Amino acid sequence: MEYSATSIYDVFLEELGAVNDERGLLTVLEIQKTFQIRLSRVFFIETEGPSVRGGHAHRLCKQIFICNSGTVKISCYDSRKIVEYELQDNKVALFVPNGIWVNLDFPGPALITVLCDQPYIESEYVRDIETFNIGKNV
């Protein structure tokens, strides 16, 4: 899929299966069933205080964001509209398809997990907002 074809309406929050009992919380993520992607890469972002990350889009890579602790505010932009999400626990995952500009704002200490369907390939990143908007046919 070309990244110009995706829109903000392709971004979605998904409640994950969770079982809570006296032993604690067990959260389940069935990646292929829920998100229809094959997992290729996993990385973690941990902040010790306020921090801003992201500031790019992907030509190919679809991502799933899960907040393990703390809070992360994720702004998603498709060249026409911005939608902001706030993740605070691991019972919810945010799916972001390729072709969406993402900014991550960590107001304090936090840990997030990011699941990707592509390996790291620098050339598939779009790191300039003007180039991104041109690619989205704006």
Contact between 43 and 111 (Cβ < 8 Å): no
Residue 138 pLDDT class (50, 70, 90 cuts): low
Neighbours of 42 (CB within 10 A): 10
Cα dist from 127 to 57, 75, 97, whole Å: 7, 15, 16
Rg of the chain over CA atoms, in angstroms? 15
Identify which has the larger pLDDT, 65 or 34.
Answer: 65
The answer for residues whose C-beta is within 8 angstroms of residue 38's C-beta and 6 or more apart is 31, 32, 117
pLDDT at residue 122, as a whole number: 97
pLDDT at residue 75, as a whole number: 98
Residues 41-99 pLDDT 10s: 999 999 999 999 999 999 999 999 999 999 999 999 999 999 999 999 899 999 999 99
Range of lowest pLDDT (24-28, 102-106, 107-111): 24-28
User: What domains appear along the chain, each with residue ranges and CATH number?
Assistant: 3-135 (2.60.120.10)
pTM: 0.94
